[in-house]
Structure 1
């Protein structure tokens, strides 16, 4: 069972019958559901949007699904989006995927297809939280390094040998080795690959 706090679905569709039927389908499968009649309604609530999956109809009056998706991105909301399409709107759905939607499902859809797509979105949400935590932790650990140790680590992260790093920084290879040993102690790692994982995780912030 996935993390309870992520079992929330924000359902956005202008068709009341769809909101009712899909909402019922999700509630009976153990999800919490918030419904919105339009993309504008969802965006009005955007500031306080709880973590969950956004199930978004692509064809709606006013703002369509692509415009809503773009507006969410502009507001820095990175919740996973699943696009609902009808009328053979596959090309629109592909645009939505290129813009960051994780999946699209065609109406009318089977319950199993819908639940499968949402489970995938929940996995994405949980892993994003883990990688964000890792990136934050890595950034904090790197703050313990001196500017020179950071320069040595940056050189190592670019795949440069000690001699090249020494030449670039105008210091001796022996001094590079000392900085390298010190930064590994401060980062509490035993191998270069562990140190590089921290450097790369911090870069992903």
Structure 2
């Protein structure tokens, strides 16, 4: 068992390192994306800058304008949510406490779905890994280099919609599953694991008929017409689709 645990931990570390390598090599990847002969023509983007410090906020906005993009500035997530932008990319400074993740959570609680890019001179690997796993599109780490930043933002604009749609599906699925009773949720978990009604009854110490009742109520609450529909809700909520 100890060997299995160590193997699992090593696997997780390898996966995390892969995320870090992909992100922290973003400078080279972004430059290639920008210089690629087959790349699309320059696109003027709408960037929403969230930075607490007034001087840095102004400096960041000037740099974005100098790149040829449009910048709107906000002192914090509350001001951003008050304006409720409907398009563009959000670029927020990471303060070392997971602040960009908190910003993303606040946006989604307000029904705002825009790509989010975090930036700072240095960000811990743990924050980057957790942020990417939870929906942050990208991080820019290091000194501000306009060409690289602009290329990252261009790439974020193209990749963001796919991620946003997946996050919307996941959030809707989680909200739907949250309406289930504990027993209904348990039936859904067993259903997604491929268990039959008889197997569920044995595992839950209830009768097959009671399982059928919970299953029927669960599918009704989810609006699932088939078992496959219900399983899809579960997979989407778990971020597997």
Pick the TM interval, shorter chain.
0.5 to 0.7
2:90 aligned to 40, 44, 53, which one?
A: 53
Unaligned runs of at least 5 residues, structure 1: 59-64
TM-score calculated relative to the size of structure 1: 0.56
TM-score calculated relative to the size of structure 2: 0.50
Unaligned runs of at least 5 residues, structure 2: 1-39, 108-114
Cα distance change, pair 53–74 in 1 and its aligned pair in 2 (3 A): closer
Aligned partner of 1:35 in structure 2 is 73
Counting only pairs closer than 5 Å after superposition, residues 15-164 of structure 1 correspond to structure 2 as: 15=56, 18-19=59-60, 21-26=62-67, 28=68, 31-35=69-73, 41-42=75-76, 45-48=79-82, 50-51=84-85, 52-56=89-93, 65-66=95-96, 69-70=98-99, 73=102, 76-77=105-106, 80-85=116-121, 89=122, 92=123, 94=125, 96-98=127-129, 100=131, 102-111=138-147, 113-122=148-157, 125-135=160-170, 137-138=172-173, 151-164=186-199
Q: CA deviation at 1:83?
A: 0.9
Higher alpha-carbon Rg:
1
Contact kept in structure 1, 2:170 and 2:236, CA below 8 Å: yes
Cα distance change, pair 22–144 in 1 and its aligned pair in 2 (3 A): closer
Contact kept in structure 1, 2:190 and 2:200, CA below 8 Å: yes
Aligned partner of 1:10 in structure 2 is 49
**Superposition CA RMSD, Å:** 4.6
Separation of aligned partners in 2, 1:145 and 1:71: 31
Separation of aligned partners in 1, 2:179 and 2:130: 37
Cα distance change, pair 82–123 in 1 and its aligned pair in 2 (3 A): farther
